[in-house]
């Protein structure tokens, strides 16, 4: 990429820098023309898209090598490594149609099932047996392993069926005898114990609760934000206003080995690779088929086994072999199919560009003509091409051309590559920048780094959760209707995801006709106004016009403020960086208008209110309440030094090596922070939170609870007291309160429940399973 960029003549770069939507065809055409005569471009496209260079394809030799390594690890009882090698082998093993006997993939699934059984991952083991049996229905070892897993699961009835089938299809007499004696043992055991309730372990089904949005929405046009979405009637807090499947999705590179490439959920130990290339991993066959459109199913004629079995066993076997792992209707367009030839480009190009490819492929498969000239128009998404910085304009030109060449190799549909088609893709790339949502997940609950093997919370253990509830970014997606919701730094809508489905829920009451707005990332309380605006400008190329950025609010004044030199004065002292931004707000919305409504703003900047023209009287380094001067340079130096100690404590928490010295140094630093920073400064809240975690880890639970409460008190000033951030903090507090046997845990937990149900409704327990544990405790 860099070498292509460097070779572009300066004159052409200048044209691209100055390009608008109207001149885009010309600049795209000129750059294309330049690349056509530039050999390194053709070399690069060949390396990206030519199957003869493909390294991500299937390769039987490599698969056999990994299988061998897996076998060695298994013999040495190194099961974790064996599991990894068998998965690698499955990723590279080509599917051989017709090879029912000694099928490499079926053997690998059974080897992996055996490892999973050893690791006591029984449901996963059962699923791998099913996969092997779908390929080779008369695979005795697979029925046998399935039977053994069912015994361990207590599904004795299924186990007996599995073992009986294994016995029937087993060719050796010795083998048959051994299975027979095992069946006898289970039958004897079953007589003395109640037969456990049978469970069918199906592959992952979408974990959604059947809640449908009931609110009628309208699209409206706003003078400062373009189109927006409003409800047709009043909506109460916690109402589900929108649910939508994505138009296209892509997993982020850092999650490729940990999350399903289709539904974006955590990958289980029995992950399923793509059938035709070695790039994606899925949580189930269901997701693999939805993404790639292919399944390795045997035809019914190959099911000799079914015909030779007694009727009841035959029906049982049919259910296992043909069990419906793709109940949901397949979209006619599968996202990964066009990328799936083992060529490099889907693995190498940036995620947003591969996503643009998926959007284009979906469009092409729906259009009969292969004409992409009306592509942008039909997508009906806004874009930011003219607001993009030069570097992004240049990158999108280059990537659009490269992507079109890669798609032409891979897609199979004919389309012409010229100024018109390239300009369409450039616009789509800028549409993706503005409209794509980052799919996030709450990180699996981790109490002191503990979680059970399936990543869930160990409900049985008496542990307290003190680490932060983290969100991890797993994918990017385009939701066509969802992208009509504008941003606000004081949002009234909360967006979250279950699998790939987007859910939007109101967190406040919204009157009919008022805009429903979510946060694209930054929020009042998280960062101050200046930082939020720079983020939105860099990431989404717009200047935020929301109320949080145009009207004075307490959080923006105090979040980074210093304290007044007079101990009894509650005024805030601001540095010039923050002050400039706040002054702009007072020009348009005088603070005095807000005094009555928000008396806590009045509390921190009384002096500013008392002036006729507040904007000229607010000065950096002067208290906004009493006007006295504070030497911010020396305060800043003290604060920076104190923060080094707090950082040391943070590191000690992470490594779980907390010494008395690190705690007492941090306590001294907290004192320095409190005497230099405003009482509501976020840095103090974070220091309090670190101390709460440290005290919890060394078993000083009362001190931990005290520091946790101190942190929450500040956060309640910075955020809305009913914000989800407060609930996350209360989770930590309640956990410690429970361990202390403190009755106030009940209040904390019911507050958490109320906030969670407003943000997640019926999905709260799914998104945050730790809630069930807390509820049970009260
Ligand atoms: C995902 S789209 C939202 C729908 C968009 N208004 C439309 O007409 O399609 C994002 C774009 O909406 C506009 N926008 C959204 N929130 C805004 C805000 N708070 N202030 C200014 N513009 C905003 C910006 O132009 C941004 O690039």
What would the pLDDT profile of 672-730 be if each residue is shown by its tens digit? 999 999 999 999 999 999 999 999 999 999 999 999 999 999 999 999 999 999 999 99
Domains 60-189 and 228-246+479-524 fall in the same CATH topology = no
* Superfamily covering domain 60-189: Tetratricopeptide repeat domain (1.25.40.10)
Q: ∠ CA 687-691-695 to the nearest 5 degrees? A: 175
What's the confidence (pLDDT) of residue 313?
86
Q: Report pLDDT for 737.
A: 92
Q: Residue of the nearest CA to atom 18 in ligand 1?
A: 544
Point out the ligand 1 atom lying closest to the alpha carbon of residue 221: 8
- Residue 481 has what pLDDT? 94
Looking only at the bridges linking them, the beta strands covering 562-563 and 272-273 are: unpaired
In angstroms, the CA 693 to CA 440 distance is 25
Q: How far is the CA of 440 from the centre of ligand 1 (A)?
A: 21
**Is the entire prediction scored with pTM above 0.95?**
no
Task: Give the span between the Cα atoms of 659 and 694, in whole angstroms.
Answer: 9
Instruction: Give residues with Cβ within 8 angstroms of 763, minimum separation 6.
Output: 208, 209, 211, 496, 498, 503
Residue 634 to residue 640: CA distance in whole angstroms = 10
Look at residue 455 in the predicted model and tell me its pLDDT.
Answer: 40
pLDDT value, residue 449:
41
CB 310 within 8 A of CB 169: no
Burial status of residue 136 (CB atoms within 10 A of its CB: 0-12, 13-18, 19 or more): buried
Measured distance between the N- and C-terminal CA atoms of the chain, rounded to whole angstroms: 58
Q: Which atom of ligand 1 is nearest to the CA of 543?
A: 21
Q: Domain-by-domain residue ranges, the chain?
A: 2-54+342-435, 60-189, 228-246+479-524, 436-476+719-778
Closest to 164 (Cα-Cα) out of 351, 316, 342, 284: 316
Does any ligand 1 atom lie closer than 6 A to the CB of residue 483?
yes
- Ligand 1 proximity of 721 Cβ (cutoff 6 Å): no
CA-nearest residue for atom 22, ligand 1, is: 225
State in Å: Cα 472 to ligand 1 middle: 24
Residue nearest to ligand 1 atom 7, measured at CA: 227
Of 599, 587, 578, which Cα lies nearest the Cα of 551? Answer: 587
pLDDT reported for residue 98? 60
User: Which residue from 485, 489, 558, 487 is spatially nearest to 523, judged by alpha carbons?
Assistant: 489
Going by C-alpha positions, the residue among 162, 763, 156 that lies closest to residue 442 is 763
186 Cβ closer than 6 Å to some ligand 1 atom? no
Which of the listed CATH numbers 3.90.1170.50, 2.170.270.10, 3.40.1350.10, 3.40.50.10490 matches domain 228-246+479-524? 2.170.270.10
**Is the minimum distance from the CB of 229 to ligand 1 under 6 angstroms?**
no
- 111 Cβ closer than 6 Å to some ligand 1 atom: no
Low-confidence ranges of the chain (pLDDT < 50): 194-208, 325-328, 446-462, 596
Q: Is 382 in the pocket of ligand 1 (CB under 6 A)?
A: yes
Distances (CA, A) of 129 to 124, 138, 363: 9, 12, 38
CB atoms within 10 A of CB 432: 22
Q: Which of 490, 542, 550 to mutate to test the pocket of ligand 1 (most atoms within 8 A of CB)?
A: 542
Q: Return the beta strands (E) in 288-395 as ranges.
A: none
Residue 76, pLDDT score: 96
* CA–CA distance, 335 with 687 (Å, rounded to integer): 45
Contacts with 480 (C-beta within 8 Å, 6 or more apart), sequence order: 244, 247, 379, 380, 381
Give me ligand 1 centre to Cα 219, in Å.
13
Give 18 Cα–ligand 1 centroid separation in angstroms.
23
Of all protein residues, the one whose alpha carbon is nearest to atom 8 of ligand 1 is: 227
Q: How big is the CA angle at 112 (ends 145 and 288), to the nearest 5 degrees?
A: 110
For ligand 1, the distance from its centroid to the CA atom of residue 649, given in whole angstroms, is 41
Closest CA to 504 of 524, 528, 479: 479
Condensed to tens digits (0 to 9), the pLDDT of residues 76-132 reads: 999 999 999 999 999 999 887 665 567 899 999 999 999 999 999 999 999 999 999
């Amino acid at each position: 990429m860099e070498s292509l960029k460097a070779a572009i003549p300066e004159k052409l770069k200048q044209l691209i820098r100055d390009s608008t939507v109207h001149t885009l065809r010309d600049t795209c055409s000129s750059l294309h023309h330049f690349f056509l005569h530039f050999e390194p471009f053709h070399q690069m496209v060949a390396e990206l898209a030519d199957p003869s260079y493909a390294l991500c394809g299937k390769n039987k030799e490599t698969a056999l090598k990994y299988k061998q390594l897996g076998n060695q690890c298994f013999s040495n009882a190194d099961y974790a490594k064996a599991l990894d090698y068998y998965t690698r082998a499955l990723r590279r093993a080509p599917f051989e149609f017709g090879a029912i006997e000694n099928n490499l993939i079926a053997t690998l699934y059974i080897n992996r099932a055996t490892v999973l059984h050893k690791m006591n991952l029984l449901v996963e083991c059962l699923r791998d047996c099913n996969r092997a049996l779908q390929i080779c229905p008369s695979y005795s070892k697979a029925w046998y392993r399935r039977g053994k897993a069912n015994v361990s699961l207590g599904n004795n009835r299924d186990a007996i069926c599995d073992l009986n089938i294994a016995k029937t299809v087993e060719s050796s007499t010795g083998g048959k005898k051994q299975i027979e004696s095992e069946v006898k043992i289970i039958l004897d055991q079953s007589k003395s114990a109640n037969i456990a309730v049978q469970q069918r372990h199906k592959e992952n089904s979408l974990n959604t609760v059947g809640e449908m949005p009931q609110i009628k929405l309208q699209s409206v046009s706003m003078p400062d934000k373009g189109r927006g979405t409003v409800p047709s009637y009043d909506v109460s807090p916690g109402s589900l206003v929108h649910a939508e499947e994505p138009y296209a999705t892509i997993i982020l590179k850092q999650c490729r080995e940990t999350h399903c490439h289709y539904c974006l959920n955590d990958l289980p130990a029995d992950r399923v690779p793509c059938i035709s290339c070695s790039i994606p991993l899925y949580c189930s066959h269901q997701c693999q088929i939805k993404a790639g459109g292919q399944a390795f199913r045997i035809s019914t004629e190959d099911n000799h086994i079914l015909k030779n079995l007694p009727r009841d066993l035959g029906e049982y076997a049919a259910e296992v072999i043909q069990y419906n792992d793709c109940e949901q209707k397949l979209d006619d367009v599968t996202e990964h199919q066009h990328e799936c030839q083992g060529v490099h480009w889907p693995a190498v190009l940036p995620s947003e560009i591969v996503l643009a490819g998926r959007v284009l492929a979906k469009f092409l498969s729906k259009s009969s003509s292969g004409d992409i000239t009306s592509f942008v128009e039909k997508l009906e998404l806004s874009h930011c091409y003219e607001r993009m910085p030069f570097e992004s304009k240049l990158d999108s030109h280059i990537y659009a051309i490269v992507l079109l060449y890669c798609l032409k190799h891979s897609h199979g549909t004919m389309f012409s590559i010229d100024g018109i088609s390239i300009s369409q893709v450039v616009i789509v790339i800028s549409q993706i920048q503005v409209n794509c949502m980052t799919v996030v997940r709450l990180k699996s609950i981790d109490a002191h780094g503990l979680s059970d093997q399936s990543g869930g919370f160990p409900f049985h253990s008496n542990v307290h959760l003190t680490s932060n509830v983290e969100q991890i970014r797993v994918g990017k997606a385009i939701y066509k209707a969802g992208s009509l919701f504008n941003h606000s730094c004081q949002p009234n809508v909360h967006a979250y995801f279950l699998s790939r489905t987007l859910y939007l829920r109101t967190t406040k009451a919204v009157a009919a006709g008022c805009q429903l707005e979510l946060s694209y990332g930054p929020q009042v309380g998280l960062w101050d106004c200046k930082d939020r605006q720079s983020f939105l400008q860099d990431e989404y190329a717009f200047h935020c016009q929301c109320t949080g950025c145009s009207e004075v609010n307490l959080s923006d004044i105090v979040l980074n403020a210093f304290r007044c030199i007079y101990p009894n004065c509650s005024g805030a002292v601001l540095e010039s960086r923050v002050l400039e931004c706040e002054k702009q707000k007072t020009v348009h919305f005088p603070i005095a208008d807000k005094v009555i409504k928000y008396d806590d703003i009045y509390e921190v900047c009384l002096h500013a209110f008392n002036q006729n023209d507040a904007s000229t009287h607010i000065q950096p380094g002067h208290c906004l309440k009493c006007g006295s001067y504070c030497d911010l340079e020396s305060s800043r130096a003290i604060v920076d030094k104190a923060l080094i100690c707090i950082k040391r404590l943070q590191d000690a928490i992470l490594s779980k090596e907390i010494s008395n010295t690190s705690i007492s140094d941090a306590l001294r630093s907290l004192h320095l922070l409190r005497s230099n920073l405003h009482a509501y400064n976020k840095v103090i809240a974070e220091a309090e939170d670190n101390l709460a975690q440290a005290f919890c880890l060394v078993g000083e639970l009362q001190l931990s609870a005290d520091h946790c409460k101190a942190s929450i008190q500040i956060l309640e000033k910075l955020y809305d007291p009913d914000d989800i951030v407060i609930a996350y903090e209360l989770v930590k507090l309640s956990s410690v309160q429970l361990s202390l046997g403190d009755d106030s845990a009940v209040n904390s937990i019911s507050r958490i429940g109320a906030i969670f149900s407003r943000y997640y409704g019926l999905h709260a327990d799914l998104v945050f399973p730790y809630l069930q544990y807390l509820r049970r405790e009260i």
